[in-house]
Structures are given as C-alpha cells and as structure tokens.
Amino acid sequence: MELPEVVSRSEWLAARKKFLAEEKEFTRRRDELNANRRRLPMVLVEQDYVFTGPDGPVRLLDLFEGRLQLVVYHFMFAPEWDEGCPNCTWLSDDIGRLDGLHEMQTTYAAVSRAPYEKIAAYKEKRGWTFPWYSSAGTSFNYDFHVTLDESVLPLEYNYRTKAEWEATPNAGLVQGEQPFDLHGMSCFLRTGEAVHHTYSTYGRGTDSLGFCGTVIDLTALGRQEPWELPPGRIPEADHHDDGCH
C-alpha cells in the first residue's frame, strides 16, 4: 500500500491546521446547504399508499406514528430475494435508539418491496428494532423511483432519465433485467391528515447517514474503494467493492 508520508510532529501540525480551514469551510457550506434544503417547496402526496407491517395493513399516514415528520429509507429488498441488500444492511446496522428523532417529532422507517414475512425474518436475524414495512402491491417504490421498471414508469433515478444516465460513465447502474431496486431516502411532513413529500436523495446522497461510513472517512485508509483518492490505500486481502456507491 501507499501510506501517508511520515513527517515530524510540527510538520504534521502545520498540515493539519491548513486542512482545518478546509473543514471549517465545508461545515459552513454544509450549513448553507441544509438551510436551502429546508427552503425547498413540498408536494401533497395524493396517493393513499397502504403498506404491510407487523399488525397488518397501514397507511402512509400511520407510518408517522403521530409525529410531524417521517423519514423513509428505501431499503433494497426485492420480492425474490431472501435477504436484503448488503450495503443497505451495512447502513442499517448503524441504527440504534431512535428516541432523539422522536423527541424532534420525527419517525424513521424502512420500506421495501419484499413481502413482510421476509422483511420480518431478516429484521429478526439482524437484531434490528426500527420499523420496516412492505410496499408489495403498491406503486410506492415506482413513484419514488427506487424500483425501475419501464413497463410501469419511464426510467428515472437520482433525477436523471435513462438517456442522461447512459451518457455517463455510470450507465451500468440503470441497465439490467427489470424491475430492479436501488436505494434512497425520502422525507415527509404531515399537516393534520395531509402528507407532503419534502425531499428525496439517492445514490451517494445517503453517504453521510451511517456511523461507519462517516467514521471511516476520517481515517488514512478511507473506504478502501477503487474510486477513492489518493490511490493505493486498499489492503489487498480486505478489499471490498461497495456497489451502492
């Protein structure tokens, strides 16, 4: 591996202070982005989606559990699979107690196309406690562009059309046998009984959501992916290919 240069403590401190200025600028820019995200308009969700949970059918409104906001993780788990996506699993393993979100009037839940029986079995196997519902039999995944099937809707992912994706180096992301599932996260706001869609993010938009991903970005070896810079930081025996990123 190509490891960082070894220098004196004073040289390291000078480099660290210089980089600190970049980090502070990133923090200011992130605050600005978050403020602009909160300024986005919202759309009334007119479709009355009915999901399946541990107690049977539930509406999208029910997923709020009486709170003002709902954050849905679009967990990749196709009906024919026996287990969920490894990368979605990696992110979900980081989820602990949700009390902090609840105190801020926000509910977190995952939604997948797999039948609820498969979801419940996988959830128990992983030891997870967060709510997870099946969208089987609904258009929810298609409407929010995390299940791609051109026989249902024109292909769109991360706000790009099929033609736009095919013009990029990542064209393979939207190619393959349909339907196929991808991941993302959507946010909703409730006003009385009305549900509004405020935000969705896909692909690497979920990068900073997991504890492990955030922590590993602070290390010298990083995520150990072929696309990362500087190159040569991948331990040969431990290399993994994270397809979601």
| Alpha-carbon dihedral sign for residues 143, 110, 212, 86 | negative
For the ranges 11-20, 35-44, 67-76, 199-208, the lowest mean pLDDT is seen at 199-208
Q: What is the pLDDT of residue 241?
A: 45
Ranges of beta strands (E only) in 146-227 are 147-148, 156-157, 160-161, 180-181, 184-191, 194-202
Percentage above 90 pLDDT, the chain: 79
Mean pLDDT (whole number) for 166-177 = 89
Query: How many whole angstroms separate alpha carbon 133 and alpha carbon 162?
Result: 28
pTM of the model: 0.89
Tokens of 92: 């979900």
Q: What is the pLDDT of residue 173?
A: 86
Q: What is the pLDDT of residue 245?
A: 40
Query: At a CB cut-off of 8 Å and minimum separation 6, what does 41 contact?
Result: none
* Res 116 pLDDT > 70: yes
* Res 240 pLDDT > 90: no
* Res 132 pLDDT > 90: yes
